[in-house]
Amino acid sequence: MEPLKGLLSTLWKALTDQPDPKAPFLESIPEDYRSLASAVLSVAPILMVFPLLFALTTVLERKGLGRIQNRLGPNRVGPAGFLQFAADGLKTLTKEDVVPRAADRVVHFLAPIALVIPVLLTFAVLPFGRNLAPIDLDAGLLFFFAVSSATELAVFMAGWASRNKYSLLGALRAVAQMVSYEIPLVLAALSVVMITGTLSLSAIAAAQSPTPGSFLAPWYVFTPWGLMGFLLFMIAACAEANRSPFDLPEGESEIIAGYYLEYSGFKFALFFLGEYLGLFASSGLAITLFLGGWNAPFAFMQGWLPSWVWFFAKLATLIAVFIWIRGTLPRVRMDQLMGLAWKFMIPMTLLTLVAAGLWHRLPSAPLRWVACTALLAGAFLVLGRVLMPRTRHGRRVYRYAD
Partner 1 sequence: MVPRVILGGGIVKGMIETARNFVGSYTDASRLTTVEYPEQRIPLHANARQFPFLVFDGTDPMAGLRCVACQICEKECPPQCIYIIKDSVKKPDYLGKMQMQPKVFDIDLSVCMSCQICVEVCPFDAIKMDTEFELSNDDRFAGLLVNKHQLAKPNSHFARIHPAEAAEVDGRLAAEKAKAEAKARADAEAKAKAAATSPPPAGNPSSSPPPKS
Q: Are 196 and 204 in contact (CB under 8 A)?
A: yes
CB of 312 to partner 1, least distance (A): 22
Pick the closer one to partner 1 by CB: 83 or 383. Answer: 383
CB of 251 to partner 1, least distance (A): 19
Pick the closer one to partner 1 by CB: 101 or 385. Answer: 385
Helix, strand, or coil (residue 298): strand
Pick the closer one to partner 1 by CB: 35 or 328. Answer: 328
Pick the closer one to partner 1 by CB: 298 or 324. Answer: 324
The rounded distance, in Å, linking the Cα atoms of 242 and 198 is: 29
Please give the residue ranges that form the binding site for partner 1 (CB under 8 A).
64, 67-72, 324-325, 327-329, 344, 380-381, 383-385, 387-388
- DSSP state, residue 210: P
CB of 344 to partner 1, least distance (A): 8
The rounded distance, in Å, linking the Cα atoms of 129 and 135 is: 12
CB of 327 to partner 1, least distance (A): 5
CB of 382 to partner 1, least distance (A): 10
The amino acid that residue 8 corresponds to is L
Cα torsion 279, 285, 288, 293: sign: positive
Pick the closer one to partner 1 by CB: 67 or 360. Answer: 67
Pick the closer one to partner 1 by CB: 69 or 364. Answer: 69
Pick the closer one to partner 1 by CB: 324 or 342. Answer: 324
Helix, strand, or coil (residue 216): strand
Per DSSP, the residues of 97-135 read: ----TTS-HHHHHHHHHHHHHHHHHHGGG---STT--SS
How many other C-beta atoms are found inside a 10 Å radius of the C-beta of residue 391?
A: 6
Paired strand residues for 298: 216
CB of 246 to partner 1, least distance (A): 13
For residue 210, give every residue at least 6 positions away whose Cβ sits within 8 Å of its Cβ, in sequence order, or none: 216, 217, 218, 295, 296, 298, 299, 302
CB of 334 to partner 1, least distance (A): 19
Alpha helices in 149-164 (DSSP H): 150-161
Paired strand residues for 216: 298
